Amino acid sequence: MISFAKPVPGHRALCVKVFAVAFAFLPATARAQSLTSAQLESLRVRANQALFIDSPLPPLAAHTFAALPVNDNVRIEHVTYATQFGQRVPAIVYVPTHPRSKVPAIVVVNGHGGDKSSWYAVYTGLLYATAGAIVVTYDPIGEFERSVTRASEAGEHDKPIPGLAHPERVGGLMIEDVQQAVRYAASRPEVDSNRIAVVGYSMGSFHTILATALAGPQLPKIRAVVLSGGGNLDGAEQYWDTGHAVNCQAAPYRALDFFPGGGDARGPILYALRARSGPTLLMNGTEDSLITKFNELEPFFVSLRDRIATVSGSRTNLPETIWYEHVGHRPSFMDRDAALWLNKQLHFPNWTDAQIAAFPTIKAADWVTQTGVRISKGYIVEQKEGGINALDLHLPGLTREQLTAVPLDQWQKDPGPYTLPGWIPLALAAESTASSSVQSNHP
């Protein structure tokens, strides 16, 4: 039986398509093997080591520079918190002005070229803060305030780093950043740490599933995960292994080849680890080439669910899927389907399902045109991000200045703690120390 997220009565039926395709494209090596809880935990620890993720994670040492009202319901806070090697992550945090008791929290993880100034990060922050949740958005390494040029879509983290023998360190940093964002959200006194979600788009979907699967005891159990434009954790020599984005995707994924069963076992094992904390929703388009390149439509996910169940011995929290016909690459987590699913998991203080079902919608392209908030070139079209039917609560746009977390004069005095060039010498020193240690132990 193919499992889809179910429409809510009275709500527009989901655009889904059942693909009657044989599973012959799945290699024999894709068969999973059963693992005990102790074995899964051992793999989680080893995976963190393979990706050079800190254990324990560093103290947050969070700092708030400013708080600015957006409207009567939402304010934004300019924040930084610590990550690997003492680096600082610039973040914009969306806060409901009138919280009702303890509130849920959502962390937004950007795709390639995205940062906290991307339209979908801004919209998600404003939308779900209006629902009564804290929303954390931040810059990935090499983008906006974590770029030496302060540019968006800089792509600095994709460039080869001379002397770095383990490019998976870059991906490990980005995964650690997700985990630190979750820890920051949980550290806020108004947040209910049992109601935290992470939503990831494209590259962010990859970092999100790894970060939530590999989360250790320092993190709260992450109640809900939404992956859009991704989630297709495939096998050896397929998309995530062979993509051009070596530092942030291909190298980190290949670093997990040691899983029992090799490269084809990574997806089932990672999802089995994730399932220990809560459910996952995948929202994809049938014409998204990232998802469909290796024929990874619904039959792939049916098989994946079976392999996850074999690994874990349970069918609890297997990933749910929503398919949108004739849709390409986009982050769908601000549409009605996502809001209803998140409300089921997080219980938004200010919204009911009936209200969500009744909200009007606006095309993302129209909101971007009205507000001038940044969208990546070529993505305003109907098939991609521009065609998203986002819940319309007449949300305002925010300027780049409003979305700058660190005061410019302070950043200019010492950009090192925020940027990739500040991280590189520290990573190279760590590699040198590790290499010297290995040599000393093997005379």
Instruction: Report residue 23's pLDDT band, with 50, 70 and 90 as the boundaries.
Output: very low
Residue 207 Rama label (left phi>0; alpha psi -120 to 50; beta): alpha
CA distance 418 to 425: 13
For the residues of 6-63, what is the DSSP string, one character each? PPPTTSPPP--------GGGS-GGG------HHHHHHHHHHHHHHTT--SSPPP---E
Distance separating alpha carbons of residues 70 and 371, to the nearest angstrom: 14
Q: Is the pLDDT at 135 greater than 70, yes or no? A: yes
Q: What is the pLDDT of residue 32?
A: 80
- Distance between CA atoms of residues 291 and 302, nearest Å: 14
Q: How sure is the predictor about 435, in pLDDT bands with cuts at 50, 70 and 90?
A: low
What per-residue confidence (pLDDT) applies to 36?
Answer: 98
Mean pLDDT of the region 160-185? 98
- For the chain, count helices (H), then strands (E): 14, 11
Structure tokens at 146: 């974590």
Task: Say if residues 210 and 179 touch (Cβ distance below 8 Å).
Answer: no
Say yes or no to pLDDT of 345 above 50. Answer: yes
pLDDT, residue 436, reads 58
- Residue 347 CB neighbour total at 10 angstroms: 16
Instruction: Look at residue 295 in the predicted model and tell me its pLDDT.
Output: 84
- What residue type is 204 in one-letter code? G
The domain defined by 23-437 folds into Rossmann fold (3.40.50)
Q: What pLDDT does 440 receive?
A: 46
Confidence of residue 14 (pLDDT cuts 50, 70, 90): very low
* Per-residue pLDDT, 254: 97
Is the pLDDT reported for residue 441 higher than 90?
no
Within 13 Å and on the Cβ side, how many CA atoms surround 363?
12
413 vs 2, which has greater pLDDT? 413
Report how far residue 125's alpha carbon sits from residue 127's, in angstroms, rounded to the nearest whole number: 6
The DSSP secondary structure of 313-344, one letter per residue, reads S--TTPPEEEEETT--S---TTBHHHHHHHHH
Supply the pLDDT for residue 24.
35
Buried b (16+ CB within 10 A) or exposed e, 124-137: bbbbbbbbbbbbbb
